[in-house]
Structure 1
Amino acid sequence: MLMHGFALDAEGRKMSKSFGNVVTPDEVIGQFGVDVLRLYMLSANAPWDDLKFNWDGVRTAHRSANILWNVYRFPLPYMTLDRFMPAAGEGGAWDGSFVGRHLSEMPDEDRWIISRVQSLAGQVAEAMEEYHLHRATRALIGFVLEDLSRWYIQLVRPRMWLEEDSREKLHSYETIYYVMRRLVSLLAPFAPYIAEHIYQNLRLEGDPESVHMLDLPLPDPALADPDLEEAMNVIRSFDDAVATARQAGRRKLRWPVGECVVLTESDLVANAIVRLNPIARVRANSRAVSVVRGTWERIGWRAEPVMRALGPAFGKKAPEVKRLIEQADGSALKAALEASGRAEVGGYEIAPDQVAFAESLPEGVFSAPMKDAMVYVDVTLTPDLEAEGYAREVIRRLQEMRRQLTLNVEDFICAEVMADDPRVADLVGSGWRERIMEEVRALALTITSMANGSEFSRIWALEKDWDVEGVAMRMGISQSCDE
């Protein structure tokens, strides 16, 4: 027999009218909906434990449901524009066989998320078997937030802009469709209304009328790739380390960097970085990502005297020895100590316990740890990297202006960009104009300096002034190219 616990308030007190702390289900449903209440109550704790009702927890469940909805809606405009129809099986019903037939030719990120669906299905089935409803719902919410929204969608987003008949684009559509079909089936017992609404828009003519008429998906071993999942976990750890190093170097992710180096002795880390190098480069926004074992030649060492050891050993001469150690070549001193266990500075013999060593990184290089490795990011800007950085900033702002004009994905624009700094205008205009036009779907784009005046060449439907990394810019866009 499975008994549920009591519903308490956030302080752990029994809900009572005399305490004035009663929260009715209708109150929560009225604000957030019945499925959000279900997700919150099922995921908050084990069914047999008392529930300390917390409005913040409900809001978190609501945000998770919104993220699921946004993930579902993300590819729809592109699929509609390309008239995408998922591959159907016998009788016009969807059977998911497309991914099985084409799995070997799909990009790594597609095969990874398909494998993650198999792992998720296994987790949910196991949790349901043990009546651990909290573990099942947490696994589903975690998959939506971490695997789908914050990782896979970010990786696949650029493929939405490929040509209609691109095989990579078709694979992304089929993969997203596969994931959503499996996900809504797994989610149906816990969020029946959301799952049904999404299913009704996804179902094919030959499919059952309701998501609740489908069997709960089970893992398909043929689509599972545990090694790929493990390798992707390494890339995600690398991604976090790069973000930390970039923050230390005050270099935003939109700005490219020349090199990232992963220093490791772990075969798992090294093999993952090599296997998934294209993903590592994209996530790091780096021209190159490489693996180094042992030592990286660009790392130096700074010698730091250990006075508690120098004092007893050298007495009154300890300050002089301290000064000599600080002035010594730290890398050479470290190498000598590692080779023979002793070293000499200014005629004094130094023991390993009398000196410590700290990394001395080149200017512009910042580091951050990840599991079983250290990541180094060179944030030094070259003119080429600087041009790309400013171009990405311009693209982001033009995209925001498209959004403010409520343009459709397929709509084209004409635009004008003026930069206060002539050098920046030349950097962006000389090498990135065509790329910017592709990204923002512009039929015409003018990039000039404000040196000869800050007035636009025409009246635009939307005109805005921007501060782009300290450079004043004016941008104007219209859907029509006619003045």
Structure 2
Amino acid sequence: GLMQSNPYKEKGFQPGVYTKENYDKIDLHRPYVDDVILVSKDGKPMKRETDLIDVWFDSGAMPYAQIHYPFENKELLDSHQVYPADFIAEGVDQTRGWFFTLHAIATMVFDSISYKAVISNGLVLDKNGNKMSKRLGNAVDPFSTIEKYGSDPLRWYMITNSSPWDNLKFDVDGVEEVRRKFFGTLYNTYSFFALYANVDEFDYKEADVPMAERPEIDRWILSVLNTLVKNVDTCYNEYEPTKAGRLISEFVNDNLSNWYVRLNRKRFWGGGMTQDKLSAFQTLYTCLETVAKLMAPIAPFYADMLYSDLIAATGRDNVVSVHLAKFPEYKEEMIDKELEVRMQMAQDVTSMVLALRRKVNIKVRQPLQCIMIPVVDEEQRAHIEAVKALIMNEVNVKEIQFVDGAAGVLVKKVKCDFKKLGPKFGKQMKAVAAAVAEMSQEAIAELEKKGSYTFNLDGAEAVIETADVEIFSEDIPGWLVANEGKLTVALEVTVTEELRREGIARELVNRIQNIRKSSGFEITDKIKITLSKNPQTDDAVNEYNDYIRNQVLGTSLTLADNVENGTELNFDDFSLYVSVVKE
């Protein structure tokens, strides 16, 4: 009953040659597969299984069949070491054949489920939501996309753009944006750290600076980092990679790069290794190393390179790959929610003020006089007061004024969101809209403070919530106003002559720093500066001479009638020439 010869060899098939031409010589389907008789270890013939109910039924028996249950490995299944499965994922077309059959057989044989969690994957569509097709010319070649953008940015885009069970509208511009905004930002953050760590020969051999002795900004980012570890670990455990990736992106872009590094650049400059500088190095290193571990499941190659570069200099982990390192564990004692709330308030106010600056095209380097904030309660006042100096420095204003509510200073208005209020009030909607339009400043303040407001409409109560409406503030002369939820800020946009001079000094610092960079100077090189005279800037240069020199490592700053071989600096309505020479 055994084969006398190999039927496939007779057809010229060559095992190990994986070409289309080679495999075209054979067919593994019935009836040809019935000519194949293999030999078991004890010499018995093995033939194709003829007792077949359904191919999906056989597939549904996979959990037991793969371990030859119950003839072998019986204890693995009976002790639930390998069954039920923790997780299963397939396309929506597998609902009946695969997902259902697994459960059906498990119920009949074991009175059990077959798996604990399931995801039915969505489809990858083109950017307009159409099915990809070579015929329509809207198909995207995955290999060329990987070649151009890299596999990790592609994977990160696909995972964070939409949940796995949703259809993905694939747009290569989105991959480029992920590569630039997330991976580019993370790379720049690491490059900044590496630049100054190499200058100061930081290798993390010193003992950790005690948490109580670290500046508040360090304690804040480490608190946010530990909150991130806690939340990302939960997301991974609950099969929510989309949420995990988005949390990591938000931390890197908004908190680590755009806030922590930007606010602390000067701590990494100059001088010896003080405790303050050591704390900054240790804090930023911890953030980068932890991010590498958190992102590794989604971006394995990038994470491994980042991690390897970090530990190569410090040797803190005795492993060769991030994928062999222990996953981070959060420390509850390092999480300070009150501090996180205060800093979030600083970020929110800063973001709103910077948006107002952009609205009237006033650069951040141009100082302004005042921010006015109507506070809705003492808690909000305390939170902003605690980060007042930080906000003023970030948005470049001289003072922050608090006012109790907006009454008498700012005029607020309320606009209905009819999509939310319409289904809620039905025939009452017209009366509710009229009542909302007539709300007093005191009523609006109550709505902001309590989160809801109750109208009495002909004896019937109608309750609206802040989520049902849009609250906005009208601008007042000389000020711009922005409103987000309970937070309102007003920015004074009048530029006095004194403020203008300081703005020119800050602008000159920026321009000279750019010249230093483009000239290839080292960060420690000292320079001599010569600036052409101009009635628009001379007073500012004389008043802020020391400030400008200190900011750019200048040993001298002089005004001259003519500047030979100078670089032209163009301003809005005039130009200057500057010479920057290494000392």
TM-score (norm 2): 0.64
Count of matched residue positions in the alignment of Structure 1 and Structure 2: 404
Correspondent of 1:183 among 281, 286, 291: 291
The equivalent of 1:128 in structure 2 is 236
The alpha-carbon deviation at position 9 of structure 1 amounts to: 2.3
Rounded Cα–Cα distance in structure 2 between residues aligned with 1:366 and 1:268: 25
The answer (yes or no) to whether the contact 1:242–1:375 under 8 Å persists in 2 is yes
Percent identity over the alignment is 28
**CA 1:165/1:45 → structure 2, altered by over 3 Å: closer, same or farther?**
same
Correspondent of 1:119 among 215, 222, 227: 227
The alpha-carbon deviation at position 191 of structure 1 amounts to: 0.9
Correspondent of 2:538 among 425, 434, 442: 425
The alpha-carbon deviation at position 149 of structure 1 amounts to: 2.0
The equivalent of 1:404 in structure 2 is 518
Rounded Cα–Cα distance in structure 2 between residues aligned with 1:359 and 1:53: 41
The alpha-carbon deviation at position 139 of structure 1 amounts to: 1.3
2:537 partner SS:
helix
- Matched to 1:42, the amino acid is I
**CA 1:370/1:102 → structure 2, altered by over 3 Å: closer, same or farther?**
farther
The alpha-carbon deviation at position 238 of structure 1 amounts to: 0.9
Rounded Cα–Cα distance in structure 1 between residues aligned with 2:306 and 2:513: 28
**CA 1:371/1:428 → structure 2, altered by over 3 Å: closer, same or farther?**
farther
Correspondent of 2:269 among 153, 161, 168: 161
Correspondent of 2:348 among 229, 237, 260: 237
**CA 1:371/1:232 → structure 2, altered by over 3 Å: closer, same or farther?**
farther
The alpha-carbon deviation at position 247 of structure 1 amounts to: 4.0
Rounded Cα–Cα distance in structure 1 between residues aligned with 2:129 and 2:148: 23
1:275-290 → structure 2 map (5 Å cutoff): 275-290=386-401
The equivalent of 1:439 in structure 2 is 551
Rounded Cα–Cα distance in structure 2 between residues aligned with 1:244 and 1:268: 25
The alpha-carbon deviation at position 176 of structure 1 amounts to: 0.8
Rounded Cα–Cα distance in structure 1 between residues aligned with 2:188 and 2:229: 22
1:231-380 → structure 2 map (5 Å cutoff): 231-248=342-359, 250-294=361-405, 299=409, 361=476, 364-380=478-494
**CA 1:447/1:364 → structure 2, altered by over 3 Å: closer, same or farther?**
farther
Correspondent of 2:253 among 112, 136, 145: 145
2:390 partner SS:
helix
**CA 1:22/1:224 → structure 2, altered by over 3 Å: closer, same or farther?**
same
Rounded Cα–Cα distance in structure 2 between residues aligned with 1:47 and 1:252: 42
Rounded Cα–Cα distance in structure 2 between residues aligned with 1:294 and 1:46: 41
Correspondent of 1:474 among 550, 559, 577: 577
Gapped runs of 5+ residues in structure 2? 1-87, 91-120, 412-440, 443-472
Rounded Cα–Cα distance in structure 2 between residues aligned with 1:87 and 1:440: 32
- Matched to 2:555, the amino acid is L
TM-score (norm 1): 0.77
Rounded Cα–Cα distance in structure 1 between residues aligned with 2:404 and 2:226: 34
The equivalent of 2:327 in structure 1 is 216
Structure 1 vs Structure 2 CA RMSD: 2.6
Please say if 1:35 is aligned against 2:152.
yes
Gapped runs of 5+ residues in structure 1? 90-97, 302-333, 336-357
Rounded Cα–Cα distance in structure 2 between residues aligned with 1:295 and 1:9: 48
- Matched to 2:89, the amino acid is L
Between the two structures, name the one with larger relative contact order (CA 8 Å, sep ≥ 6): 1
**CA 1:79/1:146 → structure 2, altered by over 3 Å: closer, same or farther?**
same
The alpha-carbon deviation at position 360 of structure 1 amounts to: 8.3
Rounded Cα–Cα distance in structure 2 between residues aligned with 1:290 and 1:128: 44
Deviations 1:426-466 (A, max 9, x none): 2222x321221121122222135xxxx4x22xx45xx2112
The answer (yes or no) to whether the contact 1:78–1:409 under 8 Å persists in 2 is no
The answer (yes or no) to whether the contact 1:415–1:442 under 8 Å persists in 2 is yes
The answer (yes or no) to whether the contact 1:419–1:471 under 8 Å persists in 2 is no
The answer (yes or no) to whether the contact 1:44–1:134 under 8 Å persists in 2 is yes
The answer (yes or no) to whether the contact 2:474–2:481 under 8 Å persists in 1 is no
**CA 1:379/1:22 → structure 2, altered by over 3 Å: closer, same or farther?**
closer
The alpha-carbon deviation at position 392 of structure 1 amounts to: 0.6
The equivalent of 2:530 in structure 1 is 416
Please say if 1:110 is aligned against 2:218.
yes
The answer (yes or no) to whether the contact 1:196–1:210 under 8 Å persists in 2 is yes
The equivalent of 1:80 in structure 2 is 198
The equivalent of 2:500 in structure 1 is 386
2:482 partner SS:
strand
The answer (yes or no) to whether the contact 2:366–2:499 under 8 Å persists in 1 is yes
1:16 partner SS:
coil
Deviations 1:251-270 (A, max 9, x none): 32111122222111233321
The alpha-carbon deviation at position 416 of structure 1 amounts to: 0.9
2:557 partner SS:
strand
The equivalent of 1:18 in structure 2 is 135
Bigger-Rg structure (1/2): 2
The equivalent of 2:437 in structure 1 is none
1:444-455 → structure 2 map (5 Å cutoff): 444-448=556-560, 453=561, 455=562
Rounded Cα–Cα distance in structure 1 between residues aligned with 2:250 and 2:335: 19
Please say if 1:69 is aligned against 2:187.
yes
The equivalent of 1:339 in structure 2 is none
The alpha-carbon deviation at position 215 of structure 1 amounts to: 1.5
The answer (yes or no) to whether the contact 1:417–1:447 under 8 Å persists in 2 is yes
1:258 partner SS:
strand
Rounded Cα–Cα distance in structure 1 between residues aligned with 2:266 and 2:371: 22
Rounded Cα–Cα distance in structure 2 between residues aligned with 1:169 and 1:206: 19
